Amino acid sequence: MADIHSVIGTKNKKGQTYTDTWKLMNEAPRTPSFFTGSEVIKEALRRASCDVMIAYPITPQSEAAALIGELFAEGYIGDYFRGESEFAVMSQCAGAAFGGARVFTTTAGPGTMRAMENFPMWSGARLPIQMIVTCRGINSPLSIQPDTLEIAYLLNTGMLVWHAETAQDFFDWILKGYMVSEEPDVHLPLALCCDGFFVTHTKDVVNLTPADMCLPPYDPYRSPVPCMDMECPPVRMMRDPFVMKSNYISYATHASWQQEIWAAVERSRKHSIHWLNGLIDTENTDAEIIIVASGTAVSQGREAIRLLEDEGVRCGLVKVKTLRPWPEEEIREATKNAKHIFVPEFNVTGWLAKEIKATISNPERVHAGPRVCGGMTMPPEIIVSEIKTALGMKTFSLAGRGS
């Protein structure tokens, strides 16, 4: 039986030293680098001891997928190939993970939707696959621009769902994500989401760990369910599933299995808190006005808070890092003083505002906006305008584009 601790301090074939992940993330020196989000995904993967990456092109994740192909050519990835479609890719990811590999893939928008059937299957099969979702519009007419509606569809798949604000989050969370995903009491796939273009195509300063240090390899024997061994396939699961039976025990089995998956999502809470330093980040939560957001909306909120400060309006911030597990207690606590809670979002339905309303007391405090969708940008000025309008303050009319 493999023991990951025994490899720490030894070198892989590329000369990288397998390093204790906590030390790698928290103690190893960091080098500031000016990179696009896509380049940062590549750099995280270079250090992730990834066995298999499966790619399929769709904007805005294509660059990241292509860059990881370069990594494979350099010898940093065990295997890399292109699937026939996103559905095929996600199924192939399942096969690789069943076989005991650490698996990585990237997708976006319509690709996420096309592959959707696989995601509850991944969590049901307890496969700790990591999937980067660079959100884009999913509707017709076709859009390639950022829009976070697809995240709403992922929330009930049984996957862990995290929403990165910046490329720095991406770099750290890709590596930490495997640590949470691969815990035996979790062992679930992770959808690590960001807003496409705003993160993937934006050049920003990111602090990278040394390139000659990497994660310990995945140990498939820590899986709570047996990994697929072709000499000893779990035939009863595959060929003779319970669904074919129609009796009490089959329903009970399915029900308890689903409960177990969601219990595993819950159990990921303590690991996520450990690795991410909490499920949310907060600033000035004693303020009467608070912005609660995830992803790029957090960044836009930060700029809005600066603008409001200039006008003497104090506003707090809650950055929601994990959507699954959902930081219920944390959000309740962070918003308990708030009289007004604003939830800026990059989607038409306002799924985050709905989650928050369902979580806190006096949900009429929630102003579900501002919202932009279909690839529109959210200038900080419109958040300011929304807040000032709600407070009955005078606001200038925004001369938007097209005026």
Partner 1 sequence: MIKRRLNIRMSGLGGQGAVTAAHVLAMAANRDGKFSISNPFFGAEKRMAPAESYCRIGIERIYDRGELVFPDVIQVFHPQVITMGKSYTMPFYSGVKEGGLVVINSDQELLSTDDIERLKDLNVKVFYIAGTELAIEVAGTELSTNMSMIGSVAGITKCVSMEALDGALQERFGKKFVASGGTASLDEAIKKKFAKKEMLLAKNLATVKAAYDIASAWAEKNQYELRVGNPAVAA
Binding residues for partner 1, rule: CB under 8 A, are 34, 36, 38, 62-63, 66-67, 70, 144-146, 197-199, 201-205, 296, 298-300, 302-303, 376-381, 399-403
Exposed, middle or buried, 381 (CB in 10 Å: 0-12/13-18/19+)? middle
**Cβ at position 299, least distance to partner 1 in Å:** 4
**Cβ at position 166, least distance to partner 1 in Å:** 8
Residue number, 56 or 198, with CB nearest to partner 1: 198
Measured N-to-C along each axis, helices 248-276 and 167-181 cross at an angle, to the nearest 10 degrees, of 130
**Cβ at position 346, least distance to partner 1 in Å:** 9
Residue number, 34 or 248, with CB nearest to partner 1: 34
Tokens of 177: 């994500």
Exposed, middle or buried, 327 (CB in 10 Å: 0-12/13-18/19+)? buried
Quote the strand ranges of 248-309, DSSP E: 280-283, 289-293
328 contacts 359 by C-beta, under 8 angstroms = yes
Residue number, 129 or 151, with CB nearest to partner 1: 151
**Cβ at position 268, least distance to partner 1 in Å:** 28
d(CA 160, CA 35): 27
Beta-carbon contacts of residue 362 (< 8 Å; ≥ 6 apart): none
**Cβ at position 291, least distance to partner 1 in Å:** 12
Residue 320 phi/psi, 5-degree rounding, is -85, 115
**Cβ at position 300, least distance to partner 1 in Å:** 7
Residue number, 146 or 189, with CB nearest to partner 1: 146
Give Cα separations from 120 to 100, 158, 195 (angstroms).
Answer: 19, 6, 22
**Cβ at position 393, least distance to partner 1 in Å:** 20
Q: How many CA atoms, within 13 angstroms, populate the side-chain half-sphere of residue 109?
A: 25
Residue number, 1 or 399, with CB nearest to partner 1: 399
Residue number, 261 or 315, with CB nearest to partner 1: 315
d(CA 309, CA 316): 11
Give the chain's length.
Answer: 403
Residue number, 248 or 396, with CB nearest to partner 1: 396
CA 56 from centre of chain:
19
Tokens of 15: 């000369």
**Cβ at position 71, least distance to partner 1 in Å:** 10
Residue number, 36 or 223, with CB nearest to partner 1: 36
Task: Report CA dihedral (200, 116, 187, 161) to the nearest 10 degrees.
Answer: 50
Residue number, 160 or 318, with CB nearest to partner 1: 318
d(CA 98, CA 225): 10
Tokens of 70: 């370069």
**Cβ at position 112, least distance to partner 1 in Å:** 20
